[in-house]
Structure 1
Amino acid sequence: MLTGSFTFVAMTYNVWGDAHLEQREPALRDLFATRAPDLLATQELRPRTREVLDEALPGHARVHDDFPGWGGQSNLWWRTELFELVEYGRRDVGILAADAGLFWVRLRPLAGDAPPIVFSTAHLTWPGHPDERQDGRNRRTGQAQRVVAALDEIAGDGAALFTVDINDIGPPLWELGNGGFLDSFTALGRTSPVTHPVSPMPFTTGIGTRLSPLGSPAKAIDWIFSRGPITTRASEVVEFFSAGSAPSDHKPVAATFTLPSGAAPAGAGTTSNQGEK
C-alpha cells in the first residue's frame, strides 16, 4: 500500500424490502456479522430492514433524515472508525417510485491524508412498471444519464462510487461507462457473475414472475461503479446462505478500493447543502 493511501471495502445490496423478512432476518444478520463492509449501500430498504441493519452494524453510522426515502428506498452506512460524514443529499433523477432518487454522502477518511469520497446509490425503474409496459420506452437510460450529470456536479473530479440495482443489461450501463464510470469487475479485466435471482429460495414457490409464466433469467444487475482518483483492488458477488436461507433475492456485490494520498482535486466538494431534496 502506498504511504498515506487508504483501502476499504464497499458493498451494495438490494435487501428485498420486508418480503419474507421473518424467514430471512437471521440470514441477513449472519451476513453482516460475517462480512460487514466498511461502506454499505442499500436498495429496496424499509423501516424494519433498516432497523435490522442498524442492529447488525453497531460500528457503523448512516444518514438520519426525515425524508421518507432514507427509510423507504435507500440508505448508506459507513464504519465510524474509518470515515466521518461531511454532507449528504438526495437528487431526483426521474426514477418512477415514491421518494426514490440518487442518495449520496460525502465521507472523509479518518486515517492518512486521503481525499474525501462521494458514495452514492440508486435503484433504477423496474422494466415492469406500468408506464414502461404501456409505451415500451426504456426509462433507465435517461435515469442513468441524469445520475452521471448529478455526480458530475456533486463529485466533480474527486473520487466517487456509484452503486446501483440497474434493472437492465444494456443501455444504462453504457451511459455510465460513457460518463467515465467503470464497474468493479471491468476494472479488473473480468465480467460480473449473476447477482439475481438467488437460487434456491426455499420459502418462495413457483418459477414465473407476476407478469409472465416465465422464470426470471439469471443476470447481473447489481453494480459498484467508480470514477476519479480511486483504484479497484478486488471484486466479488458474495455467495451467502445461513441455515439454508438466503438474506435476499439478490446477491450482494463487494469490492475493495484504495484512495491515494493527497488533497482532493479542484472542483470536488461544490454541491448543494446537506440534506438536499
Structure 2
Amino acid sequence: MTVPLTFIAQTHNLWGDHHAAERETAMRALYELRAPDLLATQETRAWSRDLLDAAMPGHDRVNDDFPGWEKQSNLWWNRELFSEIEHGAEDVGIHDANARLFWVRLRVAGGDRTILWTTAHLSYSGNAVEVETGINQRTPQAHRVVEELGRLGEDDEPVFFASDTNAIATAIWVIGNAGYLDSFSALNRQAPPTHPVVPNPFRETVGTPKSPVASPHKTIDYIFFRGPVRPRSAEVVEFFDRGISPSDHHPVASAFTLPGQSGLE
C-alpha cells in the first residue's frame, strides 16, 4: 500500500560565474538552511554544482559526461524520498551548445510510483539570433519542450518542468495550452516577480549589458506540472546573507503531494 507523499520542489537560476566569490557564502547558507527535496538549476557551473553537493549531503544528482550537466543545468533529489531510474538531455533548440531539456525519472521510495523531474533554460532575449532577426526564440523552444515532455512522460506519471523561461507571454501560453499549470496559477494566485533581485550590490547602474534601460521586475521562473499530483503551496524565496543574495534570480519553491493508493488525502 502506498501513502501520500508531500515534498518541496525548487527551481533556481544560479547566475553562472557572475560575482561567484562574493555569492558563495549566501548560496551555501540558503541550501544548508532550506534544502528542497527536488532542485532544478540553470546557469550551473562546476563550483556551484560542487557547493550544492556539499550543502545538501542527503541529496543525489545526475552524473553524466555531457558538459551541459556541469555548465548549464542539473537536477538533485532527496535520496530518502527518491531514487534515479534513468536520465537524459534532449535538444529543444536553445541557443547554447550546452543547453538542453534535462530530465530524470525518479522512483518514489516505498513503491513503484515514478515522477519525471525536468528543467530547461529558454534563450535569453539578448541571444545573437534574436538580436539579429528580431524574432522571438522562446516560443518555438517551448513548443519543442512540450513535445519532448509528451514523449518522455509515462501514463499517469506526474511530470514537472522547472524553468527559467525568460518569457512573460507566448512561451508561457504554449506550456499552459499543452496541459500544464504553474504552481501559483494552480493555487489561484498571481506569481510574484522572480527577476531581478533587488537590491543588487554588484550593479553600478540600473541598466542591463544590452541597454541603459533598467530591467523591469518580472516573473520568468516557474515550476510547471501535470498529472496526478496536488500543489500545496508556492513561494518566491527572498533570501539574503549579510545583504548578499545567492543569485540575481529568486528561487521558486513549491510543495506538492503525490497520491496514495486511494487518492490524495
For 2:229 and 2:112, how far apart are their aligned partners in 1? 10
Which residue number corresponds to residue 156 of structure 1?
154
2:140 is paired with a residue of what secondary structure?
Answer: helix
> Under a length normalisation based on structure 2, what TM-score does the superposition of the two structures give?
0.96
1:75 is paired with a residue of what secondary structure?
Answer: strand
Are the equivalent residues in 2 in contact too, given 1:6–1:114 (CA < 8 A)? no
Which residue number corresponds to residue 7 of structure 2?
8
Which residue number corresponds to residue 99 of structure 2?
100
Are the equivalent residues in 1 in contact too, given 2:162–2:223 (CA < 8 A)? yes
**Distance apart, 1:262 and its partner CA:** 4.0
2:228 is paired with a residue of what secondary structure?
Answer: coil
Q: How many residues align?
A: 261
Which residue number corresponds to residue 128 of structure 2?
130
Which residue number corresponds to residue 71 of structure 2?
72
Which residue number corresponds to residue 173 of structure 1?
172
1:192-203 aligned within 5 A: 192-203=191-202
Which residue number corresponds to residue 59 of structure 2?
60
Which residue number corresponds to residue 224 of structure 2?
225
> Under a length normalisation based on structure 1, what TM-score does the superposition of the two structures give?
0.92
For 2:67 and 2:2, how far apart are their aligned partners in 1? 41
For 2:35 and 2:17, how far apart are their aligned partners in 1? 20
Are the equivalent residues in 1 in contact too, given 2:191–2:219 (CA < 8 A)? yes
* Superposed CA offset, 1:21-45 (max 9, x none): 1110000000011110000000000
Are the equivalent residues in 2 in contact too, given 1:114–1:260 (CA < 8 A)? no
**Distance apart, 1:61 and its partner CA:** 0.5
Which residue number corresponds to residue 207 of structure 2?
208
- Write the letter of the residue equivalent to 1:36: A
For 2:218 and 2:114, how far apart are their aligned partners in 1? 33
For 1:172 and 1:58, how far apart are their aligned partners in 2? 35
**Distance apart, 1:99 and its partner CA:** 1.4
Matched, 1:189 2:226: no
* Superposed CA offset, 1:162-216 (max 9, x none): 0000001000000000111100000000011110000101132111111111011
* Superposed CA offset, 1:113-167 (max 9, x none): 4720000000000101111011111111111111101010111332110000000
Unaligned runs of 5+ in 1: 264-277
2:64 is paired with a residue of what secondary structure?
Answer: coil
Which residue number corresponds to residue 255 of structure 2?
256
Are the equivalent residues in 1 in contact too, given 2:2–2:261 (CA < 8 A)? no
For 1:186 and 1:3, how far apart are their aligned partners in 2? 28
**Distance apart, 1:3 and its partner CA:** 6.6
2:140 aligns with one of 133, 139, 142: 142
For 2:75 and 2:261, how far apart are their aligned partners in 1? 25
For 2:181 and 2:27, how far apart are their aligned partners in 1? 28
Are the equivalent residues in 2 in contact too, given 1:115–1:259 (CA < 8 A)? no
2:63 is paired with a residue of what secondary structure?
Answer: coil
1:41 is paired with a residue of what secondary structure?
Answer: strand
Structure 1's consecutive aligned runs of 4 or more residues displaced over 2 angstroms after TM superposition are: none
The share of aligned pairs that are identical, in percent, is: 53
